[in-house]
Structure 1
Amino acid sequence: MRKLLSIFAASAMAISSPLAVVACKKNSNENAEFDFEAQRNKFVSTVTQIFQTQFKSFFEPLRFVSQEESPFDKKMTTVFLRENANEISQGQGLIYDFVKSEITKVIHWSDVLEQINEEIMKNVNFRSMLIDGKNPLSEGFLTNTLELTDGDNEIATINVGFSSQIVLLNNNKDKEYVTIKYETQINLISGIEIAEEFNRINEDYLNLFKNEKQANEFKIESNKGDYKTAGDIIISEKGEIMTTVKNLIKNIELSNNHYSIDVDSTLMSYDENYLAIGSTVFNSVKYAWGSTPAMIPEVAEFGQNVMSAFGGNRKAKEAVVKTLSENEENPVVSRNESEEIKNQVSEFDNMSVAINVFGVEENLQDNRLFTNKIRKEQPNFAINYEEDQKLISLFGIEIQNSKIRYKEEIYELSKPFLLVRQNTEDTGTQALYTRFLSDALDYQIKFAGFSSDSSQSVNSNSLFYFNKPDSLKLDSLYNFVLGYKYFNDDFWDAASIQTKAYQEDLEFTSQFCGASLGNLKPASYLYFDKNERLYFSNRIFTPNDNVFKAQIVTSFFSFQMDWKLTASLALGNKAGTPGIVSDSASHFVFKK
């Protein structure tokens, strides 16, 4: 109910005609809302990465610094900080202002703005989100946290936190503000020798993962296409990666028993912005449900096989999978991967042009922030085509919360960045891709209400019968155009247990897409009538508007990725023909 209330509240108009609009707004760009939201998320994540990376470069050298060698005023000593700890932590007063000024002087804000200018303001995809061409961080930054913690007399620990506001235009051309933050710890140390030992330990800790062996050592074997599932396997507390990381940390040499390293609280995290998948394009398929004499023979045969496969013919299904899994271009599949990828893949056995190490490399090269981070923090990382034939994804992982104990006090170590390969469990990516096509096709057949007894005589109109989500079981929702994104997950959650079983192995994802001018685009809107006929569109439609053809698109990699770069399966009856909303315009039906 809460979801529905928010959907109705989002509607800016009340229409009494048979087709009213819920949670949507007319836009001449057919897929503007979806494309804008994707670009907006990328805009925000890019600015956030730049802000945090730059601030890290300012403050990491101060994690353990002697007061004699610090960039601060000579007055700012450990004794001075301890004596004025209360006033500093209150966040006001002359002493607080002095300490704040000393700390913030290491921030070169112009460097942040300059990188934003290069990565954001010169990117044509982001221009529509800029306000009067201004830098999205033009409002500067704030010091949110400046606190001293109790500690050893030789060390003054300062916890500091900063924030800034990303200012951008949203899809309605209104200002949107997004808060971003960076937090760290400064340890000002009275003795040079103690500071040197802390820095040696911290440097050894960072270097554990930078040498040529460890930079290329970490990997998992998993066929999971969902990046969150694969990421969770990597960072699992009892997983192989975590065990190896902790064992490496324990081997750091310590000069005396005043020092010890605590790995019990060590954590790892992943970020989809530091991820390169092995697919580079979405390849559409040329076919029609069934066949007509005017078609190219191979296309006609494929269309007949698709229809027969949905009708329960296993040999037809195998023929469909075989055609789609071929690396060579054929009349049905136009392989849109780069010529470089095609040529490189052809030199290997059991490697799919749809998912491969060269796709990982190409996507990595297209992600400047990821490549820059690797260059700075993992300079010895290298892809080896021979050894990485089974590579399907590359994850950037941050190690967090490792602690060093000095006497009775605990201090945070830096946060190393390591790279983890995800390899397929199969003999190669060709075997994996073939398995994906087979499972995804079975999933779509079952999801659409087809089974081994769904012959043409039983289902002569080839209707796709879906389980109706509980969220759509309200009479008030009939004959309304609804925002698809509010219900996407509900469709797949409503699938039968038997349907979901086909998804368990690979954890692929699905969504409805509408075809416009021959191109599939994720649906923006859905509509269903009293006859339970279901329609999807990439744009708002009215009774006099065309209904778009729609398909289920199942992708190996998560839809959190750019779906246009993902190896996917889009088959089934392309429901909908040009015309107004009518029974003949849709083959999608809710089960009654």
Structure 2
Amino acid sequence: MKKLLSIFAASAMVVSTPLSVVACKKTENKVEFDFDVLTNQLISEVTEIVNQNLNQDFNRYQFIENDIALNDFNSINIKKILQILSEKKVDILELSPNSSEFVAIGKDLTNIVKLEKLTTQINQAILQNINYKPILINGQSPFKNDFELNQIKLTKKTNDTVSILATFNFNLMLKDRPGNLVIEKVTYKHTMNIFQDAEIAKGFTELSNNIGELLESEKYSNSMEFMSNSGNYMRTTNDMNNDILLKAKITEAANEAKIPIKDSKLYSIDLQNLNLRTSELYTIFGESQPKSTNNLMYWENIQDDGKYGGLLSAITSTGYDVIDSYALRMNQYEKISQTNNTFMDQVNPYIVSEKVQKLLLKDEESSWALNHYNIDYFLNDLNLYPYFSERISKSKFKLSETEDRKTIAIWGTEIENISVTYEEYQSGTKTTVDMPNYFFINRQKTHLINTKEYVYRVNFAWLEVCRQFLGFENINGNTNLTYNLKLPQDMLSDLKVGVSYNSSEILNAALEKAISDILTSNPRLRDFVSSFRVSPSDNGFIKINSEGFIHSYNEYGYATPFEEIEFWLQGTGVNYKRVGNGAVRRIPRRKEILTSNLETPTYWRIDSFNK
């Protein structure tokens, strides 16, 4: 299991059980919330607010001359830092939180934080979002001005240059599903570099500003791109970091930023350890938005195939011909599904805005399910992407109707781990400092000829995952079309009759096994298979009878059927819980009869289990 997880952790599909994988879902009796999803979303949003505010607060204290330190602080200057290090006979020292030096320097550092402004912005963002109400204590803000400086690290660069690394924790008070108080932490780090020579401090400041401005200029914000077919966040980040042309562009911008600086030849930029990272708050895929469907149909046997346009025939077929035909048919029905009720409402419902439809009617290359017009449209919706939209509105970024037809996503990306060395002209003394992170906007383009071909490949991979996961690759003798989940042998051997098992643990293992088998037989699907995600409710559980049939229960122990099996293109690995904004692909729900008798057969079974 662990070996499989490490290899295929990028795989992603959603199998929803009665307790939803989305943050909020209306069931037959009540609305249930996924507390983990809400908590992660809230933490991500607060983290962004903290970063924005403290970056502003500490902006003037990245590269400063010693005279500014002497004027602005009581305990921060080169002489005092060197004295502390000299007494300990070290060049690098992490201060003890109980030491007088930590208290004194910490007071200077915490005074930089504009706490009232930060608190106001957190309160506005969190309290105005009613989705967060279930995890707030008495509906109040999770942030009570509770923050702490928990690390101060001093470094002697030269006799004339020192640095201070400060790490802050901001504490959030939330509640979990049972209503217990939990404290979550948001961390912020800042490095302050202090120079005796004001000209050197000025040079580093100018270089840093130039890099940031160039990366967001029209020249670079509209030329940064990388090639990847993956909708998986982790794998796409790897593709981004491995793209030679993208890193060459970043190097070009950094070198250009150095040109206007006085004595620019004395500064050398090191990009060897450069790393790119992003977050969901700054990621927009070109997928159309999910369409609300109230008339989802159940299926009982193969005679129901017509409701879904031949889906059941496709996933129970052998070979690839029928799957290929169905994937192509989904492409053919893209436009029709926007104006008529079709099988797509059952298996892949999405909605395209009127503005985007008008553009697509003149474009034979772009898919209605995923296209660059959607990205441009979403950028104007502050409710969908408030932080990214605001950031882009201040940049020169612009999508082209013609040149961006292969663009499937844009990523707000941070560059980290850039260092710069200054070598003094006369003495040859070298001073190396770490630069701050830099933001730029990055296009993800498909390797394929256009997005129509891309969506066809996604649909094909989805169908193949379904067939393998459900055990439909060979249905001889399986007249009821029972789902036969294959498990790794070690897990299969450990399963016992009548024992309660966590639903997600079993279903995740079956998915890993399915993906392993798929990639062995058809490695070309890797880009697309790795984009799906699985995450049934952690609160549901299952029991297995003597013939391997699975009975599903909710967290209160009541028998309940599995929901439809759902897939998303966007994801970040097994057990990833958040459902993205993109459209769902689903295998409709089976019509089951609930029973308290464990020995009754169901439509879900563990393959090769017989005890």
- Structure-2 residue corresponding to 1:558: 571
TM-score (norm 2): 0.79
Report SS of the residue matched to 1:140: strand
- Structure-1 residue corresponding to 2:206: 200
Retained in 1: the 8 A contact 2:281–2:388?
A: yes
Paired AA for residue 456 in structure 2: T
Alpha-carbon offset, residue 441 of structure 1: 1.2
Equivalent of residue 456 in structure 2, options 403, 412, 434: 434
Alpha-carbon offset, residue 372 of structure 1: 3.3
Paired residues in the alignment total 548
Between 495-504 and 211-220, the greater mean CA deviation after superposition: 495-504
Q: Does 1:255 align with 2:262?
A: yes
Paired AA for residue 59 in structure 2: E
Q: Does 1:368 align with 2:397?
A: no
Q: What is the distance in 1 between the residues matched to 2:311 and 2:168?
A: 60
Equivalent of residue 284 in structure 2, options 268, 276, 285: 276
Q: What is the distance in 2 between the residues matched to 1:275 and 1:151?
A: 38
Paired AA for residue 492 in structure 1: L
Report SS of the residue matched to 2:144: coil
- Structure-1 residue corresponding to 2:36: 37
Paired AA for residue 566 in structure 2: V
Report SS of the residue matched to 1:383: coil
Paired AA for residue 240 in structure 1: L
Q: Does 1:220 align with 2:234?
A: no
Retained in 2: the 8 A contact 1:58–1:107?
A: yes
Q: What is the distance in 2 between the residues matched to 1:360 and 1:471?
A: 45
Alpha-carbon offset, residue 91 of structure 1: 4.8
CA distance change for structure 1 residues 541 and 535 in 2, over 3 Å: closer, same or farther? farther
Alpha-carbon offset, residue 73 of structure 1: 4.0
Retained in 2: the 8 A contact 1:321–1:438?
A: yes
- Structure-1 residue corresponding to 2:481: 462
Q: What is the distance in 1 between the residues matched to 2:160 and 2:267?
A: 14
Matches within 5 A, 1:7-46: 35-46=34-45
Question: How far does the alpha carbon of each residue in 1:478-506 deviate from its partner, in whole angstroms, 9 at most, with x for none?
Answer: 32443223334311222275433454142
Report SS of the residue matched to 2:456: helix
- Structure-2 residue corresponding to 1:393: 409
- Structure-1 residue corresponding to 2:585: 569
Between 302-311 and 218-227, the greater mean CA deviation after superposition: 302-311
Matches within 5 A, 1:46-445: 46-69=45-68, 72-73=72-73, 77-85=77-85, 89-91=95-97, 96-236=102-242, 239-251=244-256, 252-253=258-259, 255-256=262-263, 257-282=265-290, 288=299, 300=306, 302=308, 306-307=312-313, 310-312=316-318, 316-325=322-331, 326-327=333-334, 328-329=336-337, 330-334=341-345, 335-340=349-354, 341-361=356-376, 363-364=378-379, 365=381, 366-375=384-393, 379-406=395-422, 407-445=429-467
Report SS of the residue matched to 2:158: coil
CA distance change for structure 1 residues 126 and 75 in 2, over 3 Å: closer, same or farther? closer
Question: How far does the alpha carbon of each residue in 1:151-187 deviate from its partner, in whole angstroms, 9 at most, with x for none?
Answer: 2333332221211212111111101112221111112
Q: What is the distance in 2 between the residues matched to 1:274 and 1:264?
A: 25
Alpha-carbon offset, residue 198 of structure 1: 1.8
Retained in 2: the 8 A contact 1:158–1:185?
A: yes
Paired AA for residue 244 in structure 2: G
- Please list every run of 5 or more consecutive structure 2 residues that lacks an aligned counterpart in the other structure: 4-24, 423-428
TM-score (norm 1): 0.82
CA distance change for structure 1 residues 488 and 383 in 2, over 3 Å: closer, same or farther? farther
- Please list every run of 5 or more consecutive structure 1 residues that lacks an aligned counterpart in the other structure: 4-26, 515-520
Paired AA for residue 414 in structure 1: P
CA distance change for structure 1 residues 300 and 201 in 2, over 3 Å: closer, same or farther? closer
Paired AA for residue 254 in structure 2: I
Retained in 2: the 8 A contact 1:275–1:394?
A: yes
Paired AA for residue 351 in structure 2: E
Q: What is the distance in 1 between the residues matched to 2:57 and 2:350?
A: 43
Paired AA for residue 306 in structure 2: A
Report SS of the residue matched to 2:312: helix
Identity of aligned residues (%): 17
Q: What is the distance in 2 between the residues matched to 1:448 and 1:94?
A: 64
Alpha-carbon offset, residue 585 of structure 1: 6.3
Q: What is the distance in 1 between the residues matched to 2:173 and 2:486?
A: 42
Q: What is the distance in 2 between the residues matched to 1:530 and 1:32?
A: 35
Q: What is the distance in 2 between the residues matched to 1:454 and 1:580?
A: 26
Paired AA for residue 565 in structure 1: N
Report SS of the residue matched to 1:151: strand
CA distance change for structure 1 residues 262 and 385 in 2, over 3 Å: closer, same or farther? same
Paired AA for residue 370 in structure 1: F
Report SS of the residue matched to 2:401: coil
Paired AA for residue 266 in structure 1: L
Q: What is the distance in 2 between the residues matched to 1:240 and 1:65?
A: 34
Alpha-carbon offset, residue 346 of structure 1: 3.1
Retained in 2: the 8 A contact 1:33–1:524?
A: no
Retained in 1: the 8 A contact 2:508–2:534?
A: no
Retained in 1: the 8 A contact 2:123–2:141?
A: yes
Retained in 1: the 8 A contact 2:315–2:472?
A: no
Question: How far does the alpha carbon of each residue in 1:21-61 deviate from its partner, in whole angstroms, 9 at most, with x for none?
Answer: xxxxxx99679776322112101111122122211211122
Q: What is the distance in 2 between the residues matched to 1:471 and 1:34?
A: 34
- Structure-2 residue corresponding to 1:11: none
